[in-house]
Structure formats: C-alpha cells, structure tokens
Amino acid sequence: MQLFNCPFCGKRDQSEFTYVREATEIPALDASQPTWQQYVYERDNPRGPHREWWHHNHGCKQILELVRDTMTHEVISIKAARSTEATK
C-alpha cells in the first residue's frame, strides 16, 4: 500500500482514502445541460501529473487535492481542497 501524507492527520495508509474525481472547476448551478453532461461523464485520461480529489473517510473527513503521477502513482503533493480559512 501507499502512504498519503494528510495535512491534518499526517501519514496514513491509502486504504483510509476514497478517490472522488479529477479536480476540475465545478459548473455553475444554472450551467447548460451539455456543460453538466461533460462535467459528470467525461474524464481526462492523462499520462503524468494529474490533479485529483480524495476523501479522507477514515480520518479527518476532509476532501484533499492530490497531484499524482498516473504512470508511476507517485504522489507529488497533497493539500486541503478548500482554503483553511473556509474551515474556521
């Protein structure tokens, strides 16, 4: 297993986390149907570094943004998906 260094809990086993989706801009609530279709169903399939959202479901319950290399699975960076100001 791989270790993720959670900014809130420290190093934890990957099994504590659940993949959410690629980290992309969320459309406005009143966006067109094709825009929402693309957001929900279409995914990039990059080779190399890729931004992803993961949920720390067996720890702090935070959504984290990881930059992970899809070829090597190396985690390049991990940070909170939202600013720490929003959590206060």
Q: By three-state DSSP, how is residue 55 classified?
A: strand
Query: 63, 47, 48: which is closest to 4 by C-alpha?
Result: 63
Residue type, 66: L
Q: How confident is the model at residue 85 (pLDDT cuts 50, 70, 90)?
A: low
| Whole-number pLDDT of residue 10 | 95
Query: How much is the average pLDDT of 8-30?
Result: 94
The enclosing H or E element of 66 equals strand 63-69
- pLDDT digit string, tens, across residues 25-73: 899 999 999 999 999 999 888 899 999 999 999 999 999 999 999 999 9
* Structural domain of 53: 3-87
CATH number of the domain that residue 39 is part of: 3.30.2270.10
Number of domains in the chain: 1
Note the pTM of the prediction, 2 decimals: 0.81
Q: By three-state DSSP, how is residue 15 classified?
A: helix
